[in-house]
Amino acid sequence: MTPVESGPVESGPGESGPGENGPVENGPGETASGERHSGVTLSIGFGTDRGLRRELNEDSFIAADPLFSVADGMGGHEAGEVASRECISVLSTQSFLSAGSREATASDLQQALRQADARIREISNARAGTTVTGVVLVEERGVPYWLVFNVGDSRTYRLSQGKLSQVSVDHSEVQEMVDNGLISAEEALTHPRRHVVTRALGAGSDTEPDFWLVPVEEGDRMLVCSDGLSGELGDSAIHRVLGTLRHPQDAVDALIQAALRSGGRDNITVLVVDANNVSGGVGEDTLSNEESAPSAEENTLPRMLAAEETPSRQPLEPAREDVLEGIPEAVRNPATSSPEASTPPSAPSAAEHHTPADPLHQENHG
């Protein structure tokens, strides 16, 4: 696959077809102050799909160095897509997140997310909300870090030296039950409250984000996704795809197709970001390690709305272990295919989302 020239990719909800995507590659550059930052090279894949059950796509995302983020709107009809779009729009206009910057801090992001929360409440009269998760590439004294942030139950994962870990922690009722020993992780997959989120921007009283600062290691692969992916595939299935397909865009495409084959009951948005040339490029290969991944939790819905709504989803199917079946050989084994690739499509706009009949926050938004 031939990467396109570096450039921002921002997507809001739209009318485009499923599976829009495209690769991006970013090289080292300068900070806003003109200082040369580390030589970390990023390779990026992204895609979004309306899914098989939703009439609209309420997911929005941005993939523009240094920011890679997914917002999953909730509210039904057009409310959710407005909320997710406004969240991404506010983030994209922050000066500390300008192209190639490495100067963002958790405090900066916290203020930006508060602005997004206020903006969503203003334009929706507090009738819509969105989750948001993502990662920002930052530097401290010339050392690169992943600054991960999260509100809600969209997720950020890290595949590093063959091990997959969920960096973000879901803000959901079932996650709280699991943490308190009331139910098991397996029971959470089909629990009737799995759709209920306990934090969201624009809805409810708790909107504060969580943050994690993780050193970047050679070969790191970051996955940012809406629960349309994690609600259909278990961590072991996600790990298998991420650890097998070398090109980030191939991994994105395969994950979306696997989620569709598993039911596609929600909007699916996936970003994959690879880091190379860290500390001169010395490090272990992230791919092709078969260690098992930790188990995942699931879905969403603003807590305050849950009492008024009846979950419409069927119980989630077990995560499929045959997710690579049906993926073309040329994708599974790029070394055997032609090195040439077709020109990637233009920047995607999010596919579509909930059906009009869905409750305001049924199914975790996008």
* 252-268: average pLDDT: 97
* 289-310: average pLDDT: 41
pLDDT for 205-239, tens place per residue?
Answer: 899 999 999 999 999 999 999 999 998 999 999 99
Residue 318 lies in a domain: yes
Residue 2 lies in a domain: no
Residue 1 lies in a domain: no
Q: Which of 76-80, 132-136, 343-347 has the lowest mean pLDDT?
A: 343-347
Residue 77 lies in a domain: yes
By C-alpha distance, which of 87, 92, 144, 96 is closest to 119? 87
**Rounded CA gap, 56 and 77, in Å?**
8
Residue 234 lies in a domain: yes
Asked if 275 and 223 count as a contact pair (C-beta separation under 8 A), the reply is: no
* 78-107: average pLDDT: 95
Q: Hey, is 157 helix, strand or coil?
A: strand
Residue 4 lies in a domain: no
**Rounded CA gap, 84 and 74, in Å?**
8
Backbone φ and ψ of 131, nearest 5°:
-85, 165
Peptide bond just before 66 cis, omega within 30 deg: yes
Question: What residues make up the domain containing 234?
Answer: 9-364
What is the total count of domains within the chain?
1
**Rounded CA gap, 310 and 10, in Å?**
33
pLDDT for 172-190, tens place per residue?
Answer: 999 999 999 999 887 887 7
Residue 111 lies in a domain: yes
Residue 3 lies in a domain: no
- The answer to whether residue 129 scores a pLDDT higher than 50 is yes
Higher pLDDT, 213 or 308: 213
Length of the chain counted residue by residue:
366
Peptide bond just before 294 cis, omega within 30 deg: no
* 134-151: average pLDDT: 97
- The answer to whether residue 98 scores a pLDDT higher than 60 is yes
C-alpha dihedral, 238 to 4 to 72 to 276, nearest 10°: 50
Instruction: Report residue 279 CA to chain centroid gap.
Output: 26
- The answer to whether residue 316 scores a pLDDT higher than 60 is no
* pLDDT the model gives residue 36: 52
- The answer to whether residue 353 scores a pLDDT higher than 80 is no
- The answer to whether residue 15 scores a pLDDT higher than 80 is no
- The answer to whether residue 299 scores a pLDDT higher than 90 is no
Write the CATH number for 125: 3.60.40.10
- The answer to whether residue 105 scores a pLDDT higher than 90 is yes
By C-alpha distance, which of 147, 141, 157 is closest to 112? 147
